[in-house]
Structures are given as structure tokens and as C-alpha cells.
Amino acid sequence: MTENFLNLRIYQDLKNYEFPDPYDISRKRGLKEEIKKIKEKADKAIIIFNYTWGLWESLWLFRGFEQAYIDIASNMKFVEYFWEKLLWWMK
């Protein structure tokens, strides 16, 4: 998701960007098998994704830290629309 998202530069690009469906069961396809493989190799695992990030953290995660600051300074319409779409997606 982030590869394509980094290329979004203008409001219209974001407006046309389609977020993945968070309820699509196929997103979990193979997850159980992957967990089993990990358990076979080690007795511990580290989770590196935190769904509870806030709006700012989500912006710099998707846009890059420097670009997030640039967006806030020069393209607040884009930032606000991104946050609106993100909140809709997280509902």
C-alpha cells in the first residue's frame, strides 16, 4: 500500500486512490499458515505493526517523515483530505 501512496502528490490523486477494503477476508489468506511456520522456528515473535497510530503517525508512515512536514506546510488541503479518508477507512 505505501509504495503507491508515496507517489500521491495532489488532492486529485488522493481522491482517486482506493484504500484496500479492511473487511476483505482475503487480506488474511495464508496468515494462519505463516504463524504456524514462525512457531515451528521460534517460541517468540515480535509484532511490528501497531494499528493504534494516530493521524500524524499515519501521515508520515504513508508519506515519509520529511514529505509529511512538507505537506503540512504547503498542502494542508491534501493532509486534511488524507485524514478524512483515513478516518473513514478506520471506522
Nearby residues of 82 by Cβ (< 8 Å), 6 or more positions away: 14, 59, 62
- Chain segment 24-64, per-residue pLDDT in tens: 888 888 888 988 898 898 888 777 765 667 899 989 888 88
- Total structural domains within the chain: 1
Q: pTM to 2 decimals?
A: 0.60
pLDDT (0 to 100) of residue 1: 43
Q: Which residues lie closer than 8 Å to 6 by C-beta, 6 or more apart?
A: 62, 63, 64, 67
- The mean pLDDT of 73-85, rounded to a whole number, is 90
Do residues 78 and 11 lie in contact, with contact meaning Cβ atoms separated by under 8 Å? yes
Residue 2: predicted pLDDT: 46
Look up the domain containing 8 and give its range.
2-90
